[in-house]
Amino acid sequence: MNWLIDFFGSADNWSGSGGIPNRLIEHLGFSLAAFVLSAVIAIPLGLWIGHTGRGALLVVISANAARALPTLGLLVLVVLLIGVGTIWPVLIPLVALAVPPILVNTYEGVRGVDPDLRDAAYGMGLRGRQVLFQVQVPVALPLILLGLRLAAIQVVATATVAAFVGLGGLGRFIIDGLATKDYPSVIGGAVLVAALALAVQFGFTLVNRVAVSPGVRQAR
């Protein structure tokens, strides 16, 4: 507790380029960029695979890769290939980490829609794209949001690796603190990352309440 007081009570930690506000903005920047890019890749692909039934093997491969992906190892590999000085050595591992849960949950959500409901929509004269976006997506939305939530939390927690390649973010408090044995900074940085992950969790809970229809939520 004294370490937390030392860290959060220090005025130096709240100002300048190395202060908490600036590090938090940097961390959110990395995380948001990786999250948006992952969603842009995974959601359309998951919708298409779930709706058409084609390419399901890609989902299985993606799910298995997510369990075995060494994020830090991938970060080092990307740095060796393209060097440092840009945000890409951080974005590529984060996107590789975030795509699988979004892809898998989007696919499973669409595929899991009651076939009778889908057939009824076709029977009413709806076409393929209309069935997807007017019937399947609203029913699948809870699972899609779950995939987005899991990906966002993983990205926020893992974006600390940006500090390994000389970039900013909350990981600087942890990495620099370990290097200098500044343990209040290490603990403080970890608390900030955990608090940010909890904020993301709470945010998606609110989105789920607003975006998902009560009938679908009760059925889930």
Amino acid at position 193, single letter: V
**Section 188-202 average pLDDT:** 94
pLDDT cut 90: percent of the chain above it: 38
CA distance to 19, 31, 158, 187, per residue, from 196 (Å): 16, 11, 12, 14
Render pLDDT for 63-84 as a digit per residue (tens, 0 to 9).
766 666 676 677 777 776 776 6
**Section 51-64 average pLDDT:** 76
CATH number of 2-11+19-219: 1.10.3720.10
Q: 2 falls in which pLDDT band (50, 70, 90)?
A: confident
- The reported pLDDT for the residue numbered 216 is 66
Please name the residues in contact with 183: beta carbons below 8 A apart, sequence gap of 6 or more: 3, 177
CA distance to 77, 79, 173, per residue, from 83 (Å): 9, 4, 23
- The reported pLDDT for the residue numbered 167 is 82
3 state SS for the chain: CHHHHHHHCCHHHHCCCCCHHHHHHHHHHHHHHHHHHHHHHHHHHHHHHHHHCCCHHHHHHHHHHHHHCCHHHHHHHHHHHHCCCCCHHHHHHHHHHHHHHHHHHHHHHHHCCCHHHHHHHHHCCCCHHHHHHHHHHHHHHHHHHHHHHHHHHHHHHHHHHHHHHCCCCCHHHHHHHHHHCCHHHHHHHHHHHHHHHHHHHHHHHHHHHHHCCHHHHHHC
Q: 141 falls in which pLDDT band (50, 70, 90)?
A: very high
Higher pLDDT, 213 or 186: 186
pLDDT > 70? residue 122: yes
- Where are the chain's structural domains? 2-11+19-219
pLDDT cut 70: percent of the chain above it: 90
